[in-house]
């Protein structure tokens, strides 16, 4: 019986010991809450596939943002649902647009809370694509850059704390950086959706933002889910062009990419736990198949363990509440 057993269980015998040697911590301060801002007044519209998430008019968005801030969540991300859409997506750079007005209103009510308007055209274009569509149906990358840069300056003027392009056009971080610098916003950081995959997990979001492409899909500009080396090329290019934080999206099916990006860049890495990931947990919990609280905290901790510094998640308010309770 001289057989030497390495006793890893010695450090698992009590909550205090487990806490002492815990490698990854999850904190409300690491979370970002996405919000859907719709036009008009005093409306809250539930989103069928995302129980607990609603499209809100500005006054409700401000209240929701204040609740997030009170829970210790440092930032909200805003997606706009405009009253009208057009071919170009001109609502995106309208200084009186839904997202611009919501940004101003939140900054007035909660100056400490960081506001990150999502920068893309797909919520504002009648065809639902993330850029200018040519007559052959393809998105015109270079013609889109000027529109994105213009939208970035409009977000900056509204009081955005971070500029967050999610369109996946080549060269957009450089174009946006140059335009922001010219307009006097040289100190405003860019959070680039660098490795954004053409994912089926965005399904519920497209219902929420009414941004499903009318024809075709996004595989011509978003990444192939099979490619991780290419994700690193995307990230490194964005860093070269001036990105201050980089994002991997979705999160749970791409934990390997998060780890590789962190190791290769040592940049602040943001992961987006997207609508489909949220919908799966909510559906399984509602059916009684999973314990929601445990699953959410485990999943968010895993995304942090993979290398994400920040997690954007629709679970942010629930998670912040659970994390503040002692267990
Ligand atoms: C817009 C955008 C999308 C998401 C965030 N920004 C959808 C898309 O690319 O179709 C998805 C977010 C989610 O699913 O929660 N470009």
For residue 119, list its beta bridge partners. 165
Q: Quick one: which atom of ligand 1 is closest to the CA of 205?
A: 14
Instruction: Please tell me if the CB atom of residue 116 comes closer than 6 angstroms to any atom of ligand 1.
Output: no
Alpha-carbon distance 134 to 117, whole Å? 27
State the burial class of residue 203 (Cβ atoms within 10 Å of its Cβ: 0-12, 13-18, 19+). Answer: middle
Alpha-carbon distance 300 to 62, whole Å? 25
Instruction: Please tell me if the CB atom of residue 195 comes closer than 6 angstroms to any atom of ligand 1.
Output: no
Instruction: Please tell me if the CB atom of residue 36 comes closer than 6 angstroms to any atom of ligand 1.
Output: no
Name the CATH architecture for the domain at 14-326: Alpha-Beta Barrel (3.20)
More confident residue, 218 or 182: 182
Query: Given this model, what pLDDT does residue 180 score?
Result: 98
Q: For the chain, what percentages of helix, strand and coil (3-state, to nearest 5) are there?
A: 45, 15, 40
Confidence of residue 326 (pLDDT cuts 50, 70, 90): low
Query: Given this model, what pLDDT does residue 13 score?
Result: 97
> Alpha helices of the chain — where are they, by DSSP H?
15-20, 58-70, 98-109, 141-158, 172-182, 203-209, 229-241, 255-265, 275-286, 292-306, 316-324
Share of the chain above pLDDT 70, in %: 99
Q: Which two tokens stand for residue 109?
A: 């009510």
Task: Kindly give the distance from the C-alpha atom of residue 229 to the centroid of ligand 1, in angstroms, as a whole number.
Answer: 22
Task: Kindly give the distance from the C-alpha atom of residue 223 to the centroid of ligand 1, in angstroms, as a whole number.
Answer: 13
- Quote the pTM value: 0.96
- pLDDT tens digits, 152-190: 999 999 999 999 999 999 999 999 999 999 999 999 999
Active site residues per annotation: 196, 249
Q: Is the pLDDT of residue 1 over 80?
A: no
Q: Is the pLDDT of residue 327 over 60?
A: no
Instruction: Please tell me if the CB atom of residue 150 comes closer than 6 angstroms to any atom of ligand 1.
Output: no
Per-domain boundaries in the chain:
14-326
């Amino acid at each position: 019986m001289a057989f030497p057993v390495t006793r890893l269980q010695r450090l698992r015998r009590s909550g205090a010991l487990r806490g002492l040697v815990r490698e990854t911590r999850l904190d409300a301060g690491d979370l970002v809450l996405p919000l859907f801002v719709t036009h008009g007044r005093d409306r809250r519209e539930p989103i069928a596939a995302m129980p607990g998430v609603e499209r809100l008019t500005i006054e409700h968005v401000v209240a929701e943002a204040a609740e997030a801030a009170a829970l210790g969540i440092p930032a909200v991300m805003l997606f706009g649902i405009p009253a009208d859409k057009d071919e170009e997506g001109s609502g995106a750079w309208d200084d009186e647009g839904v997202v611009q007005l919501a940004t101003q209103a939140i900054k007035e009510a909660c100056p400490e809370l960081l506001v990150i308007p999502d920068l893309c055209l797909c919520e504002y274009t009648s065809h639902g694509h993330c850029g200018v569509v040519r007559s052959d149906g393809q998105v015109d990358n270079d013609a889109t850059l000027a529109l994105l840069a213009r939208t970035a300056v409009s977000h900056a003027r509204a009081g955005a704390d971070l500029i967050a392009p999610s369109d996946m056009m080549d060269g957009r971080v450089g174009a946006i950086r140059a335009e922001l610098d010219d307009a006097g916003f040289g100190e405003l950081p860019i959070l680039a959706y660098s490795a954004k995959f053409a994912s089926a997990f965005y399904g519920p979001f497209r219902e929420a933002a009414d941004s499903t492409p009318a024809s075709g899909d996004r595989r011509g500009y978003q990444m192939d889910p099979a490619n991780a080396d290419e994700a690193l090329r995307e990230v490194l290019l964005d860093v070269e062009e001036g990105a201050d934080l980089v994002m991997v999206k979705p999160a749970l099916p791409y934990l390997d990419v998060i780890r590789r990006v962190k190791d290769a860049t040592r940049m602040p890495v943001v992961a987006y736990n997207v609508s489909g990931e949220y919908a799966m947990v909510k559906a399984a919990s509602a059916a009684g198949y999973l314990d929601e609280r445990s699953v959410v905290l485990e999943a968010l901790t895993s995304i942090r363990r993979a290398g994400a510094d920040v997690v954007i998640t629709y679970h942010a308010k629930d998670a912040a509440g659970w994390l503040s309770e002692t267990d």
